[in-house]
Amino acid sequence: MNENLLKLIISIILVMIVSCDEPETIVTNIINRDGSVTRRIEMKNDKKEFSKSDFQVPLDSTWNIIDSIEVSGMDDTVWVMRAEKVFINADEITLSYKNDSGYNRNILRRAEFRKKFMWFNTVYRFSEIIGKSMQFGYPVKDFMNEEELEWFYSPYDINELMLDGIDSLKYKAIKDSVEIKEEEWMIRSLVSEWIGVFSEYLGNTPGNTLNADTLRAHEGLLTELIIPNIADFDSLWQSGYFLREYIGDSLATNYRTVADSALDKIDDRFMVKFSSYSLGMVLPGQLTATNGITDSSQMVKWTIVSEYFLTEDYEMWAESKTPNFWAWILSGVFLLFVITGITMRRIKKG
């Protein structure tokens, strides 16, 4: 993301910045067959104490908590907090998110669990969903192809390995393409967000002569005005240039206050800070599908950063299955009974 873009999306910066003082957090959900979840949290910090505001996920005195100290090869001391709690179901995890008072308390999060009996197998599905920050933004998949999306959603350390591998030139090209398309995605989404909020405000303005359809019809014009003038966005907005070119001199004068309020509203929406963390899942039986990254132990992992839920809900999900041995046995006995019956009938006829 270049410096020019930062001038337009200063509010987005506040969402994306993760303080180096924040503890490294790994959350692991171990899903049991009855839908209960053993939830583990590991937090590492270079400070001795963990304050409540440090917690990226809900953590309180109802957890079983163990503190320890680790020393790295560089003789750096790291304070580690490990916590574990059993939740009776996914709804209880969702409730803990609603009552969260930690660092990410203003982010909408929930958990879901489904269990489906399919005779020979029982299928399990568990997911955690983070609600989108923007209401009128565009999905990132509208701007990137499959390879670029895979890069966009991959953890930083994995992408770095790709850049150092045998196909480094290929992945360097993908990285550069993603950066360019990410900027366009954000600019167009922010313009769309402003138009959406502006339209809502106009709906409550007496004597309004503008409507959402008119504003949307000229969205491309406003976007194309902003992109080449991104470095001077603040001054051009204050001068009224963008608004005059977008809706005309007269309407720009009449609705300047409303337009400014809409811009302020967008800033308010993105004043919520978000501290990244990692999520892991372990499901019963054999893992069959997921949108995460699977390691050798069949654990699925995600790194959660604010870009992933900027314009659309971000769902981290995994599915697995366990065999119903009794169903296999019962089916085998039934099949044997049928074959025996058919055989006996043929013997009697013969």
The whole domain housing 252 covers 170-269
Please give the share of the chain, as a percent, with pLDDT higher than 70: 84
Element (H, E) at 278: strand 277-282
Check if the beta carbon of residue 177 is closer than 8 Å to that of residue 148.
yes
The rounded radius of gyration (Å) of the Cα atoms in the chain is 27
Q: Which tens digit of pLDDT belongs to each residue from 101-144? A: 888 988 999 999 999 987 778 999 999 999 998 899 999 999 99
Looking up tokens 């977008």 gives: 246
What is the residue type of 213? Answer: D
Name the percent of the chain lying above pLDDT 90.
Answer: 53
Check pLDDT > 70 for residue 297.
yes
pLDDT at 221 over 90: yes
The confidence score (pLDDT) of residue 182 equals 92
| Closest of 189, 238, 267, 231 to residue 13, by C-alpha | 267
Same domain, 236 and 287: no
- Does residue 345 belong to any structural domain of this protein? no
Pair (85, 28) in one structural domain: yes
Please state the rounded mean pLDDT for residues 295-307: 88
| Residues 289, 252 within the same domain | no
- Does some domain include residue 95? yes
Q: Supply the mean pLDDT for the chain.
A: 85
**Residue 325 amino acid letter:** F
Same domain, 210 and 187: yes
Q: Long-range contacts for 168-177 (Cβ within 8 Å, ≥24 apart)?
A: 174/147, 174/148, 175/151, 177/144, 177/148
**Residues 168 and 162 sit within 8 Å (Cβ to Cβ):** yes
- 252, 269, 286 — which closes off a domain? 269
Structural tokens at position 234: 């603040």
Q: Is pLDDT larger for residue 346 or for residue 238?
A: 238
The answer to whether residues 43 and 58 touch, using CB atoms and an 8 Å cutoff, is no
Residue 225 lies in a domain: yes
Verify that 262 and 289 share a domain, yes or no.
no
Q: How far is CA 210 from CA 4, 196, 201, 213, 250, in A?
A: 31, 13, 11, 9, 12
Of residues 91 and 347, more confidently modeled: 91
**Stretch 35-40: mean pLDDT:** 97
Residues 99 and 195 both lie in one domain:
no
pLDDT in tens, 43-86: 888 777 777 777 899 998 899 998 777 666 566 788 888 999 99
Same domain for 176 and 108, yes or no, is no
pLDDT higher than 70, residue 259: yes
Is 2 a residue whose pLDDT tops 50? no
In angstroms, the CA 45 to CA 43 distance is 7
One domain for residues 294 and 216: no
Q: Please state the domain count of the chain.
A: 2
Let me know if residue 187 belongs to a domain. yes
Report whether pLDDT(331) > 70: no
The answer on 308 and 263 residing in a single domain is no
Same domain, 23 and 105: yes
The predicted structure's pLDDT at residue 23 = 80
Looking at residue 153, its pLDDT comes to: 93
Last residue of a domain, one of 224, 240, 269: 269
- Answer whether 274's CB lies under 8 Å from 104's CB: yes
Task: Give yes or no: residues 25 and 174 share one domain.
Answer: no
Q: For residue 340, is it within any domain? A: no
Residue 216 pLDDT grade (very low, low, confident, very high; cuts 50, 70, 90): very high
In a domain, 284, yes or no: yes
pTM of the complete model: 0.84
Judged against a pLDDT cut of 70, whether residue 1 lies above it is answered with no
Q: Do 256 and 196 lie in a common domain? A: yes
pLDDT confidence bin for 10, thresholds 50/70/90 = very low
In a domain, 332, yes or no: no
Q: Could you tell me if residue 44 is inside a domain? A: yes
